[in-house]
Structure 1
Amino acid sequence: MNIIIAGAGKVGFNLAKTLCIGHNVTIIDQNSEALDRIQESLDIMPLRGNVEDSKTYASFTDKDIDLFIAVTNLDNVNLISVLMAEAVLNIDRKFVRLQKEFFHESDVKERLNIDKLIFPVELTSKAISSLLQYPKANNVKFFKYTDYKLISVMVSSRFVPQTFESENFIIVGIERKKDFFIPHDSTVEVLPNDLVYFFGLEEDIRAICQKLELETNSEIHRCVVFGGEELGVSISKELVKVGRDVKLVEEDLALCEKADEALEGKVSIINSKYRSHDVFEDEDLDSADIFIAATNNDEFNIIKCLEAKESGIKKVVAINNEMEYYNLMHSLGIIVVRGPKISAYNTIMEEVSSTGVVIQKSYCGAKAIIFMRKVFQSSGLVDKKIKPLSTEKSALFYVRQDIVYPLTEKMILQENDLIIAFSPTKESTKVKQWIYGL
């Protein structure tokens, strides 16, 4: 594909780094230093230019552009860049990252013929909110073609090792002492401190989570959010929507006042020095059911989560802004939720990789990928005999009439079957070729 990325910040850089493998990628920005860093480390064409000026795109008029991605830090710039690029180029698909939620209420997507709007702050906030529905879970993923969900849970250190087996769920990943693997044996033994990924029906997984996670309360009502910038406010707003009691802690008085206005007085705003541990006792934060560290500093988020655990809060969540901190957070028993930049990157990559044929999502900090293909009447797969892929580290399944079966031998597909592959990222290319080639 011919791909243009407007914006050479962290998201733009990571997208270019991934997409330059197998695609022709051009990244445009006015920041020459950012472009120099990209040119030194990536095999792509950086272009210094104003993405809001149609003249910047003049050199691409002789080719079709398969994908235009606008990921600068300014909403207006992203929207104008789409207008200017489309004025002179033939663009197949357009993805735009936006920070301000009010664009959700507008018809800008339809007016500008944008294929996908990405709201990263909202993605992170809703990921936090979804945890309230699954108090024992670390993370929950939903899918388009099935009611099955991917739910991860951190196993208690007090858990007695045992195996689980059911026709309504399967174990599709275990992170154990920093190592990740996808079990091939349905009776794999679950150990204390494992991070286990279940795929299946919600109620069945909920029952298992109750047996695995022994510390957290069964319901979450009292919430504490550390960080009063845009993300902290957005998270607080989502928590209030679902009827939770929320306290937001911020050391900057001006941000406190701004947050109070945005939250319409529905949240208790606490102006306190972040680095003071006394705030947990002084403000009765230690009685919370969940603690969320939502600043832009991962190291600080880790420290505050550890302080929250020390004060007695059982469920602690850190917003992960830098992927290199992911493993550390997990090893410390902290629930990790993708920050806005990582959410934007992952969402765009999932959109790029997914098609009308196959849905693709990453999990376990992008250590593994799910591929999902539904058998439609018009797909040409009905009554076709398929052969499973021979693989050591991936696992293949199919869902038929809401029951999941291992795909270990030749089978004849039926309408509405769902073919699913769980693969470590390093083996995903082979698995992707197989599922597309069915």
Structure 2
Amino acid sequence: PNYEDGTVDINWDLAQKSNDQIEFSLGWGQTGVIGRIGLKLNNFSMRNLFNKNKEHRGIMPVGDGETLSIGAQTNGSYYQSYNASYSTNWFGGKRPIQFSISAYYSKQTDVSDNYYNSSYMNNYYNYLYGYSSYNSYNSYTNYYDPDKYVKLLGMSVGWGKRLRWPDDYFTLSLQLAYQRYMLKNWEYFLMTDGSANNLNLTIALNRTSTDNQLFPRRGSEFEASVTLTPPWSAWDHKDYKNLATNPLSSTYEDEMQEKYRWVEYNKWKFKSRTYTALSGGQKCFVLMTRVEMGILGSYNKYKKSPFETYYVGGDGMSGYSTGYAEETIGLRGYENGSLTPYGYEGYAYDRFTLELRYPFLLGNTTIYGLTFLEGGNAWHKVSDFNPFEMKRSAGVGVRIYLPMVGLMGIDWGYGFDKVFGTKGGSQFHFILGQEF
């Protein structure tokens, strides 16, 4: 003990325990092989990678609590994605400074024009208008068109530091990211051909005071962030007011490529969760509340970003969809992306949740049930944002955490309100991974 500063040195003998995760799924559908594979090492050591010592056992070195993750996903010929990331909470080994680096690539393709002239579609339209039966089987693999695609290549570098003011629960983080979008004959977007670049910086202030990562009973999580690109239109001397305004013009596509060669926007988000135990003890009911909202703004009203919009509705999991470069926001009780269909992309959104949880099993393997009330919405125009104009839902669900797999779950939700004239109704949602 040090009586002068009132501190005591304590030595703990720790035994390392593996908590790495392996993910593997495989199936078959109309588009071909469907699957996902992933490996997440939660106690990786970059420092010991080339050192043959007691901490380097087997293939990978361990001991520094760093995270190394690699993964791949496929939906047959129509969608593939690959990602890799590395992060540490003690960059340099002396201070609690966070550092991360990641890279990813995805490709999504489309069906050929022959698909819409096929006997399958003819039978479908005949059935739709009452002319004949509709019982033909169609394989998308027969109409795969490699000349229709959208590709996304990205990388990022992040830095974070724990703050001492206002208290020790605050962290400040910065992330510099770059994405390149490559399109060819892609008919689901206002720009069908060409490439676009997105260079941005994200500044985030976070406060986390929860008592448990898997099943919090007390505490809260708050995050306020802003993502900024350079205001390219402020100095490139282009007349965006009269650029790419006539879709019938022979130069329209070329003008679109010129307009979005460098994407610009400012994106503001706020997210919060609170946890309140309704009784004492380890196994108790816990009330979770969530409030979040986001706005995608522009520097130049004639150069609104078509990228980084909000894709709202459903399970909130990213993956195969007709859109791209979107941020996926879940809203249970409604179909994926149903609140932001093509032509009504989300430039503002909000979501409110009231969730009651109860744990059935705690420990390395955690299982808990939940029931929820949820509401939210999305708007194509930021000026139309109204937090009281909500699409409401309610439902039940279960979450299972397995050390080698991670967090999984299933929710059943019922949407009470119409979305673009379509009733909500009953929806099942499958959940993979932790969400904040």
By the TM > 0.5 criterion, same fold? no
The structure that is helix-richer by fraction is 1
When Rg is computed on C-alpha atoms for both structures, the one with the higher figure is: 2
Q: TM-score, normalised by structure 1?
A: 0.26
Q: Which has the higher contact order (CA 8 A, sep 6+)?
A: 1
